[in-house]
């Protein structure tokens, strides 16, 4: 069966827990959970800081698994719930999820994109059961999540954040080397002053310099048979038709 040669993605959602054992006496318990298939690769939920013994995480994990893992009766997911401590974290309880019970996979395997939900008892370190863990699980084709090709397990939030960072990097690289128009350039590519008053004063200085170099003592600059008063330039910053005498 060609489908058996493919890898699948086991999607696990740790939703919440109820009536856990309180391990801290003088402050509200803040809890998180670790989940793994391979003990060398563990994924972690966020810390619930308000729920106390009834935490809510709603964290989703993705595990890359083989068809043999899904069909094996002994395959499972291990979960540990911890209380966040000042000096050290304390173990609240553990859960062992058997995949066969979690997904109820039949003889003809079809990926379940719609999750199934289960409530599983939490075992305290003493061995007694106290509390319930609410989980959801589904199975996807490996091709549905190409980012998981070389990753055994990941928190879905990290996958989204990584995709967002990659999108920002691609966007910034796409504009490198592209010329940007200068808003202070004329069409002839000459610099344009942001300050009209400063530009007007520059024009006046140029006109005065030209006037002293070319004119007589009457204070009028002559050129091409036209006479232009420097006061008219100072008033308008440009030559208008009524100023030509």
Summarize pLDDT for 82-123 with one digit per residue, the tens: 999 888 999 999 999 998 888 765 444 456 666 788 999 999
pLDDT above 90 for 204? no
Question: pLDDT at residue 214 above 60?
Answer: no
pLDDT value at 224 more than 50: no
* CA dihedral of 156, 90, 97, 7, whole degrees rounded to 10: 40
Q: DSSP of 80-134, one letter per residue?
A: EEEE--SSS-EEEEEEEEEHHHHH---SS-----SPEEEEEEEEPTTS-EEEEEE
Give dist(CA 137, CA 55) in Å, integer: 19
Residue 63 pLDDT > 60? yes
SS3 199: helix
For the cut 70, the answer to whether the pLDDT of residue 140 exceeds it is yes
Instruction: Give the per-residue pLDDT at 195.
Output: 53
Q: What is the pLDDT at residue 196?
A: 53
pLDDT at 49: 94
Residues present in the chain in total? 245
Q: Is the pLDDT of residue 225 over 70?
A: no
Mean pLDDT of all residues in 183-207: 51
Report if pTM > 0.85: no
Burial (CB < 10 A; 0-12, 13-18, 19+), residue 48, is buried
What's the pLDDT score for residue 72? 86
Q: Locate CATH 2.60.40.150 in the chain.
A: 2-157
User: In a 10 Å sphere around its CB, with 0-12 CB exposed, 13-18 middle and 19+ buried, how is residue 232 labelled?
Assistant: middle
Q: Who has greater pLDDT, 116 or 240? A: 116
pLDDT in tens, 2-52: 444 468 899 999 999 999 999 888 888 999 999 999 999 999 999 999 999
Give the CATH class of 2-157.
mainly beta
Unique residue bearing structure tokens 């004329």: 186
What pLDDT does residue 104 have? 63
């Amino acid at each position: 069966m060609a489908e058996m040669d493919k890898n699948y993605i086991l999607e696990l959602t740790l939703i919440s827990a109820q009536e856990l054992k309180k391990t801290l006496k003088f402050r509200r318990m803040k809890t998180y959970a670790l989940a793994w298939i391979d003990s060398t690769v563990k994924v972690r939920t966020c810390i619930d800081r308000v729920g106390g013994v009834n935490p809510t995480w709603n964290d989703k994990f993705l595990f890359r698994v083989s068809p043999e893992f899904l069909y094996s009766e002994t395959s499972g997911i291990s979960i540990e719930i911890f209380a966040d401590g000042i000096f050290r974290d304390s173990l609240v309880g553990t859960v062992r999820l058997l995949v066969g019970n979690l997904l109820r996979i039949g003889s003809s395997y079809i990926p379940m994109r719609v999750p199934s939900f289960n409530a599983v008892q939490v075992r305290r370190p003493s061995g007694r059961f106290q509390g319930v863990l609410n989980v959801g699980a589904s199975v996807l084709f490996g091709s549905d999540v190409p980012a998981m090709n070389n990753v055994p397990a990941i928190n879905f939030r990290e996958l989204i954040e990584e995709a967002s960072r990659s999108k920002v990097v691609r966007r910034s690289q796409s504009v490198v080397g592209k010329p940007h128009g200068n808003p202070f350039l004329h069409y002839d590519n000459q610099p344009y002053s942001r300050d009209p008053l400063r530009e007007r004063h520059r024009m006046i200085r140029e006109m005065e310099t030209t006037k002293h170099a070319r004119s007589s003592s009457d204070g009028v600059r002559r050129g091409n048979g036209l006479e232009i008063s420097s006061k008219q330039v100072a008033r308008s910053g440009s030559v208008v038709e009524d100023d030509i005498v």
